[in-house]
Structure 1
Amino acid sequence: MVDDGRPIRPDERSGVLTPTNLERFAANWFDPADAARKAVDTYWSVSWHLPAGQTISQKVLEFPAITVSIESGSVAFPYVVTAVQRRAWTRTIEGSGEVFAIRLRPAGLAVVSDLDPRKLPPEQPITAALDPGLFELVEAIAREGSPAARARRADAVIEGLLSRRPPSPEHVLANTVVDALDQRVRARTGPLLAAQIGVSERAMQRALSLTLGMGPKAVARRIRLQEVVRRFSSSDACAEVDAAAVANDLGYADQSHLINDFRSVTGMSPGAYLRALRALSQTPG
């Protein structure tokens, strides 16, 4: 049973590139029930109420996961499945609205739908024609009034689906690989990781390709960049961050490697990002 959630803090790996917006959007995590954890990594929710004419361009560097979301208000679609993003993406926020999202574990999509992760576009509206089972799931969750109630309902529905559509060994392996990379940000992919898990490199690559549409190196890179953002964005560190020290601590070859990796995914250099954070912190209100 989930509780009433907890705020998403700027010093967590949320991937939000303007962490001061987390409080503004009433961003919260909701832990899944143990019975749903083979399919669900976490639930999260946000809501917003902006004055007429005001917009916010929110850039996000997401965790390497597929997300199912229920949205209302000033949004494009009520139900959306979002594929693993190769680069940071930007969403324009306006008016009023709210989102409740299910961040799936690698094994999760096959439990809740018949969709192929390798064929998903970046964002796909969920309709009865696209996937009747997934549409029925989001409809059931959307009928609940609060994020906490939606998380409880999602737990119950997904627990039932897990009993009827249990993850295959390959899907469970994908969960294990992502967990290992998430817990050890410096972890290297390849023979060492495969040996630690007790499988071949090829088995790891096949499992992640099947479930996320990307390989271990791409997953590890995204998780490490989320950690870079977390360290850069912490309120105490953003004014005096030592990029060289961060690069060394996280296992980059050198500072240039970190800079190039960060720029290629976020579209800006670490220096430009830190300057933007400092400018925001000095803006009244």
Structure 2
Amino acid sequence: MSEPIDPAGRSGVLEPANLERFSATWHAPHPALVDVVETCWHVRWSLGDEEIVQRVIEAPAVTITIERGDVPAALVRTTPGPRAWSRTIRGAGEVLGIRLRPAGLAVVSDLPVGAPGTTRVDADDPRLLAIAEAIAAADTLEDRLRVVDDRLRAAAADRPPTSEGLLANAAVAELTRAVHLRTSGVVPGASDRAVQRALRATLGMGPKAVARRIRLQEVARLLAAPGATPAAVAAELGYADQAHLTNDLRGVAGVTPAAYVRSLRALGG
């Protein structure tokens, strides 16, 4: 199943009006991959001589991208860092992204989560490299999505998600479901220390950092709505005050809520 990425949805995209220009779509993975893949997404663009700086407050997830055209690399693994992801989009190209659940990285990769940031998928990670190259070899988007399902189902049969990975999955699901949820007692029956260990092992960040990312994605979504004000968004999302929201967004996205709203209005978003 595929559907357009709704500019009004919680995508983390900081210039949501660009989504239509990128022909951005979500693609649901095979149901058997529910513990391995959260979602797949695809973007395609042709900008001529224009350049667009695209910024995204990433979800708390490791993402594998298969890229073609005017792109920095063909096969990329991205682990969310302390700042929003940013890239200058130019020329023409397309990207298929596979957003893994926390348990998914150990299923498809021989390496630990590692440092945050964007790295090429290479021979140091032979398991993931073989999967990514098989996906990239398919000609059409439909074929690549079919290979994603087939290869990842085979990988999960060979190396099922671990109990630690499944605990991290449950923690992220709960924090995503309830933006206001406290970061203690997130998963019933699991200690806070076990949850923290599981998230750090699979995502490289603890519960507070995961919750912060999810809430900031919601901040971006709400601020993009017509008539939104930073004060109203701060109150709705449970920030102590508007200054707390300002510091939080500026720390990750490098922009204040007021400046972000002004930039969206200037872009017509």
TM-score by length of 1: 0.91
Q: Quote the offset at 1:121 in angstroms.
A: 4.7
Task: Please give the alpha-carbon distance, in whole angstroms, between the structure 1 residues aligned to 2:104 and 2:112.
Answer: 12
SS of 1:193's equivalent in the other structure is coil
Task: Please give the alpha-carbon distance, in whole angstroms, between the structure 2 residues aligned to 1:246 and 1:276.
Answer: 17
SS of 2:119's equivalent in the other structure is strand
The match for 2:120 among 113, 117, 125 is 125
Partner of 2:171: 177
SS of 1:24's equivalent in the other structure is coil
Partner of 2:153: 159
* 1:43 matches 2:40: yes
Partner of 2:98: 102
Partner of 1:193: 186
| Aligned residue runs from structure 1 range 206-225, under 5 A | 206-225=197-216
Residue type of the partner of 1:144?
A
Mean alpha-carbon deviation: is it higher for 106-115 or for 143-152?
Answer: 143-152
> Aligned-residue CA RMSD in angstroms?
1.3
Unaligned runs of 5+ in 2: none
Residue type of the partner of 1:149?
D
State the aligned residue count: 269
Residue type of the partner of 1:227?
E
Q: Quote the offset at 1:193 in angstroms.
A: 2.2
C-alpha contact (below 8 Å) 2:38/2:99 kept by paired residues: yes
When you count strand as a share of all residues, which structure comes out higher? Answer: 2
Task: Please give the alpha-carbon distance, in whole angstroms, between the structure 2 residues aligned to 1:147 and 1:178.
Answer: 29
Q: Deviations over 1:22-56 (max 9, x none)?
A: 0000000001111011110100010111113x211
Q: Quote the offset at 1:251 in angstroms.
A: 1.5
SS of 1:10's equivalent in the other structure is coil
Partner of 2:25: 28
SS of 1:181's equivalent in the other structure is helix
Task: Please give the alpha-carbon distance, in whole angstroms, between the structure 1 residues aligned to 2:43 and 2:65.
Answer: 11
C-alpha contact (below 8 Å) 1:30/1:148 kept by paired residues: no
Task: Please give the alpha-carbon distance, in whole angstroms, between the structure 1 residues aligned to 2:139 and 2:240.
Answer: 49
Residue type of the partner of 2:4?
P
C-alpha contact (below 8 Å) 1:68/1:82 kept by paired residues: yes
Partner of 1:272: 259
Unaligned runs of 5+ in 1: none
- Could you list the structure 1 runs, at least 4 aligned residues long, displaced by more than 6 angstroms after superposition: none
Q: Quote the offset at 1:89 in angstroms.
A: 2.3
Q: Quote the offset at 1:214 in angstroms.
A: 0.5
C-alpha contact (below 8 Å) 1:64/1:85 kept by paired residues: no
Task: Please give the alpha-carbon distance, in whole angstroms, between the structure 2 residues aligned to 1:146 and 1:229.
Answer: 33
SS of 1:103's equivalent in the other structure is strand
The match for 1:140 among 134, 138, 147 is 134
SS of 1:23's equivalent in the other structure is coil
Task: Please give the alpha-carbon distance, in whole angstroms, between the structure 2 residues aligned to 1:273 and 1:148.
Answer: 36
Q: Quote the offset at 1:85 in angstroms.
A: 2.2
Task: Please give the alpha-carbon distance, in whole angstroms, between the structure 2 residues aligned to 1:280 and 1:124.
Answer: 31
TM-score by length of 2: 0.97
